[in-house]
């Protein structure tokens, strides 16, 4: 999906290999919109019940309510995915260790 060009009605952002590698290995926000998203993802990933008010306010300043909900759902999905794998003692595949981001291994 990240490399899909979005043609034919499919979702996609048309990232090339270099952009995808950069996103997975050294994520840096390109603008205030992305910074608001990155800050929320990090805060919600580490301590979802204590996301700072300023992080939530910054989201509201840069995203529409549906975008906020979608971002929260993405974070929640990956937390659920991780919880299922952790509870069943399914390890993260070795080839994904370098791009595990906010996951403690």
Band of pLDDT at residue 72, cut at 50, 70 and 90: very high
Q: Where are the domains of the chain?
A: 1-29, 31-99
* pLDDT for 36: 96
Take residue 69 and report the two structure tokens written for it: 């909900």
Band of pLDDT at residue 13, cut at 50, 70 and 90: low
pLDDT (average), residues 56-74: 95
């Amino acid at each position: 999906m990240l490399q899909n060009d979005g043609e034919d009605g499919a979702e996609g952002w048309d990232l090339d290999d270099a952009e995808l590698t950069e996103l997975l290995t050294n994520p840096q926000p390109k603008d205030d919109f992305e910074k608001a998203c990155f800050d929320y993802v990090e805060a919600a990933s580490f301590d979802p019940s204590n996301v700072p008010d300023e992080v939530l306010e910054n989201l509201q300043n840069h995203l529409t309510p549906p975008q906020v909900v979608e971002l929260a759902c993405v974070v929640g999905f990956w937390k659920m995915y991780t919880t299922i794998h952790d509870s069943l003692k399914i390890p993260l595949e070795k080839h994904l260790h370098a791009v595990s981001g906010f996951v403690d291994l």
